[in-house]
């Protein structure tokens, strides 16, 4: 018999293959990155973030208010927070961190 499909699960938002290929390390060096590498990393993160936001918007996903959840930043259970629609599971910010960021 065939294995059951998991079509009922939410689609996971993944970066495009072009952006993913740029993110792979060249040679696996463990040396401290130079300024050009750091700039490249910042630019890559900026592009990935922009692409993830666009994918979430295209899928009709929006942040939502949640109750009695653990904050992703301070790791304390808070009475209220916001759950972000991204690939990171349980990405919740408490109202305090939401206001600060």
Residue 101 confidence (pLDDT) = 72
pLDDT top residue among 57 and 3: 57
**What value does the mean pLDDT of the chain take?**
76
Q: Is the pLDDT of residue 89 over 50?
A: yes
CA distance 63 to 85: 6
Say whether pTM exceeds 0.75: no
CA distance 48 to 86: 12
Residue 23 confidence (pLDDT) = 55
CA distance 15 to 93: 23
Residue 69 contacts residue 44 (beta carbons within 8 Å): no
Residue 26 confidence (pLDDT) = 56
């Amino acid at each position: 018999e065939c294995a059951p499909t998991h079509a009922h699960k939410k689609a996971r938002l993944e970066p495009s293959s072009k952006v993913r290929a740029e993110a792979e390390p060249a040679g696996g060096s463990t040396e401290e990155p130079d300024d050009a590498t750091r700039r490249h990393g910042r630019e890559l993160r900026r592009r990935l973030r922009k692409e993830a936001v666009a994918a979430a918007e295209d899928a009709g996903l929006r942040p939502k208010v949640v109750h009695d959840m653990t904050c992703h930043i301070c790791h304390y259970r808070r009475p209220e927070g916001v759950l972000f629609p991204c690939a990171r599971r349980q990405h919740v910010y408490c109202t305090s961190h939401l206001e600060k960021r």
